């Protein structure tokens, strides 16, 4: 039987092309409604995709990264991804829900409990995409810290001090979150009427997290959630973010543009795992799942897809560019691409529909059956997101296991 290929979809606005709203049947204002998000999530859920991610940022979209503009022809405005994900939890059945949440400006404690709450509300389908907010406009919305204008020439530079600071903080946010998620042992709630105790407080642990950027003293306010450790996923394009993923995430989304690129990136991810000592980290004993990202625009023929893309580009007055590969073609040509990545060692793909809901519909109606026929969509019989991806449910790091003195030491 072939290895599974995990399949996610990245939701954002009217799709990843900024002019997609102009070719949609929906009114622009519908992007900000419950009906729209429910429709997208249910479509992805019914197609049995493994997860959906929701993009987010505190600042408005721009045509070019980090370059403020006053354009009104592209989609502007977004709802908060964390709130959307929680709203979708009771409205979906099997799909993982993975909001983008900022590690730079949000409170680590709120993030950790928000993800746990999502895990409860979805009955074990929560994940998150921690995201560094490097845009100075976002910092100005908070007014708490200065973030200088980005130096594009140094975005790949592994010694870039700003990136080292922001990603170092992100690593701490993930680590503090994982500790909070473990802070209640699974058996902490005892409801012992005889002694009047609701919890056994020896099984609830103050984490006492002390980082360079912040500290968190106490335990989570939430009992341990259905997955114990909700799924952590990171989008990464360079050495510093690869190491963030290797040191704290379960899944990394990467952006190969061709086969050589795909091979090179996979090698860099594995190297980053060695560099951070992933194998020795709590709850990270498995190698990172490596997923390739691609923007997809699908039609009945390659020519029709290219024509649709050309129309969007004409609306925009610019060629469409992306950090990820742009695949304008058919479901068949996309399936070939995805299976080629899988043969190179990739574990999954995250598809970014250029147009919503059109390209999500194509994924559900056309791509999923092709991948099913290829035998790569078989999943374990599991109700949680971790379970779907073949990840076990780890015991709390604080759980007392007398056969494992190492673990006891860590809980002291």
Q: Looking at residues 81 to 110 of the shown chain, list those that interact with other proteins (rule: CB under 8 A).
A: 82-84, 86-91, 105-110
Interhelix angle for 239-248 vs 259-276, to 10°?
60
CA distance 32 to 15: 13
Within 55-108, strands assigned E span: 96-102
Q: Residue 100 annotated as binding?
A: yes
Q: Does 29 bind other proteins (CB under 8 A)?
A: yes
CB of 358 to other proteins, least distance (A): 14
DSSP string, 367-397: IHHHHHHTT-----S-SSHHHHTT---PPPT
Residues whose CB falls within 8 Å of the CB of residue 330, separated by 6 or more in sequence, listed in order: 298, 299, 300, 301, 302, 305, 366
Interhelix angle for 108-121 vs 81-88, to 10°?
20
CB of 80 to other proteins, least distance (A): 4
Q: Does 341 bind other proteins (CB under 8 A)?
A: no
Site for other proteins in 125-154 (CB under 8 A): 137, 140-144
Q: Does 157 bind other proteins (CB under 8 A)?
A: no
Residues whose CB falls within 8 Å of the CB of residue 351, separated by 6 or more in sequence, listed in order: 7, 8, 9, 10, 293, 294, 295, 296, 359, 363, 367
Nearer of residues 218 and 337 to other proteins, judged by Cβ: 218
Q: Residue 23 annotated as binding?
A: no
CB of 247 to other proteins, least distance (A): 21
Q: Does 155 bind other proteins (CB under 8 A)?
A: no
Q: Does 37 bind other proteins (CB under 8 A)?
A: yes
Nearer of residues 200 and 332 to other proteins, judged by Cβ: 200
Q: Count CA atoms closer than 13 A to 284's CA, side-chain side.
A: 24
Nearer of residues 1 and 64 to other proteins, judged by Cβ: 64
Site for other proteins in 196-235 (CB under 8 A): 196-201, 204, 206, 213-219, 221-223
Q: Which of 2, 3, 27, 263 binds other proteins (CB under 8 A)?
A: 27
Annotated binding site for FMN: 56, 100
């Amino acid at each position: 039987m072939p290895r599974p290929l995990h399949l996610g979809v990245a939701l954002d606005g009217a799709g990843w092309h900024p002019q997609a709203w102009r070719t949609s049947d929906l009114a622009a204002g519908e992007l900000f409604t419950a009906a729209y998000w429910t429709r997208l999530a249910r479509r992805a859920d019914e197609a049995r995709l493994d997860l959906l991610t929701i993009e987010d940022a505190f600042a408005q979209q721009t045509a070019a990264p980090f370059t403020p503009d006053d354009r009104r022809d592209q989609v502007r405005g977004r709802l908060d991804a964390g709130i959307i994900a929680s709203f979708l939890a009771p409205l979906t059945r099997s799909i993982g829900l993975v909001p983008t949440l900022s590690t730079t400006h949000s409170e680590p404690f709120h993030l950790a409990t928000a993800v746990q709450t999502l895990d409860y509300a979805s009955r074990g389908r929560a994940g998150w995409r921690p995201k560094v907010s490097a845009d100075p406009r976002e910092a100005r919305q908070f007014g708490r810290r200065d973030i200088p204008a980005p130096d594009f020439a140094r975005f790949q530079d592994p010694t870039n001090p700003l990136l080292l600071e922001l990603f170092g903080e992100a690593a701490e946010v993930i680590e503090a979150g994982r500790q909070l998620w473990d802070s209640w042992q699974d058996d902490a709630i005892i409801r012992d009427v005889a002694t009047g105790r609701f919890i056994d407080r020896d099984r609830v642990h103050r984490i006492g997290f002390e980082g360079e950027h912040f500290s968190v003293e106490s335990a989570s306010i939430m009992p341990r959630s259905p997955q114990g450790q909700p799924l952590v996923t990171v989008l990464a394009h360079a050495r510093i973010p690869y190491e963030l993923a290797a040191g704290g995430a379960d899944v990394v989304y990467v952006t190969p543009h061709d086969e050589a690129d795909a091979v090179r990136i996979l090698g860099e991810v594995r190297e980053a795992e060695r560099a951070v000592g992933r194998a020795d980290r709590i709850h990270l004993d498995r190698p990172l799942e490596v997923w390739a990202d691609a923007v997809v625009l699908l039609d009945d023929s390659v020519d029709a897809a290219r024509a649709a893309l050309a129309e969007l580009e004409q609306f925009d007055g610019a060629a469409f560019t992306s950090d990820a590969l742009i695949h304008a073609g058919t479901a068949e040509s996309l399936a070939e691409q995805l299976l080629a990545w899988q043969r190179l060692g990739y574990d999954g793909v995250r598809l970014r529909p250029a147009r919503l809901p059109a390209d999500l519909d194509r994924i559900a109606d056309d791509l999923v059956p092709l991948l099913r026929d290829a035998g790569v969509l078989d999943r374990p019989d599991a109700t949680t997101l971790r379970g779907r991806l073949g990840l076990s449910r780890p015991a709390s790091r604080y759980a007392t296991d007398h056969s494992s003195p190492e673990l006891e030491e860590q809980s002291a």
